[in-house]
Amino acid sequence: MGEFLTYDYMSRHAEVNRTEENKGFLEKSVKYLSTLTTPLGQGEEMLAPDVQKDPRPFRASSSRTDPLLSAIGFNIHIQSYSVSTITSDTVSGATTSVPTALFQNVTCGAPADHFRGFSPKGSDEKGFSGGLRRLEASRLAAAERVKESQNRLIEAVSSYYTIQSQNRPIPGRSLRHIPPIDYHIANIREACIDATQTLHSLTWDIAVRRGNVFSQALGIAVSLFLAHVSDLAKLQKAAWADMWVRNGFLVTFEGLLSAAGKELGMIEDAAVGIAMLRMVSVVFVTETNQVHPNEDDRRVPVTDSQYLRWLRINPSGNGSKTTYLVELGVDVNYYAQRIPSQLKNKTSIRFYPVLYQMGEFARCSSLSLLFDVCCC
C-alpha cells in the first residue's frame, strides 16, 4: 500500500517546520543560560521590568507574542500578606505587634502559547484552531480518521485481489500490484495519505505548544512552592510540611478569563499545562546531597536569588509515564536553618494541581470537560 507520508510533505515538514522550531529551541536555551549567568549590564538595572525584553526574572504582558520568551510565564508577581495581633499596655500605653499569620499568593498570566496563537495558521493546518484542549480533541478525531481510512484501504485491496483470483488469470498480468487506473483504490489511498499527514502535522504542533505551556506552568508552580516554604514558622506551627509529604503540594489556579474568542484558547492551553504538573515532584538539595550528583552540567544557575543557587530538571519514563523531579539547590546555611526537617534528606514533594475557572462556562459546553483534565 506504500508510504502514507509523502516525500514532498516530509521534506517540507523537516526542512521548514522542524528546522525552524528546533532552531528556536536552541536559541532559547543559549539565550536563557547566557542571561541567567550574566549580571545586569550598566544602566540595565535602572530599567523597569516591563522594558527589559530579554529573559530576565520578570516577563511583562507586552512580551506575550515574543517567540524567544514563549516558554516563560508572564506577569508573575508574588505577594505576602501578614496579619499581626496588636496589643496595648493600659498602664504605659505602649503597643506591641505580634505576627500571627502570613499568606503567600502568586498572580500571573494564564500559561498559554500566545506566540503560536489560537487561530489557523494556513492551509497546512487544516483549519485547526483553539488552545491545547481543542487541538488535542482534534488530534483524537484525526487519529480516528487515519484508522478508518486505513481500514477502508485494506478492505478495498483485499476485495480487489479476491475478485482477481476468482477470475481467469490473464497471461502476463501480475497479481502482486494494483494498476494506477483503479481510481477507486487510488482515491482511498489519497484520503489515507491526507489523514496521516494531517495527524502527523497536528501531533508536532501540539508537542511544541505543550512544551511551551508546561514550562510556564512549571515556573509558576515552583515560584508558589518556594514562596510558601519561605515562612518556616508557619510550616512548623501548622504542620504544613507533614501534609505536603503525605498528600502533595496543592497548586491552585483561579482563572478569570471569559470563555469566548482568544481567551477560550488561553483557558484550553492553561488547562492542559496545569494538568501536566501532576508529573512533577520537587526536592530541596545542597551541593553535598544532590539526587543526581554526576549531572552537574544540567544545573541551571539562578543568579538573582540570595538563597536559591541552581535548579535541575530530571526527567524519567516515556510518553504518558514521564515524570519530572525538580532539584532545588539552595544555600547550605539556608538549607540548615530555614528548610523544615520534613523536607530535608532528599524528600520529594509532588505537585497536586487544580484549576478553578471563573469565566462564563455557559457560553461553551466544552469547558465542562476542563475539570476532568485539571482536577485530581
What is the spatial distance between Cα 175 and Cα 365, in angstroms, rounded to a whole number? 53
3-class secondary structure, 107: strand
Residues 6+ apart with CB under 8 A from 141: none
Reduce the DSSP state of residue 15 to 3 states and report it. helix
Structure confidence by residue, pLDDT tens digits, 253-297: 988 888 888 889 999 999 999 999 999 999 999 987 888 777 667
Q: What is the pLDDT of residue 327?
A: 95
The residue written with cell numbers 543568579 in the block is: 303
Q: What is the pLDDT of residue 289?
A: 81
Q: Which amino acid is at 184?
A: H
Q: How confident is the model over 336-353, as a mean pLDDT? A: 93
Average pLDDT of the segment spanning 98-108: 80
Half-sphere exposure of 94 (CA within 13 A, CB side): 2
Contact call for residues 272 and 136 (beta carbons, < 8 A) = yes
pLDDT (0 to 100) of residue 351? 97
Contacts of 146 (CB under 8 A, 6+ apart): 192, 195, 196, 199
C-alpha cell at 167: 477470475
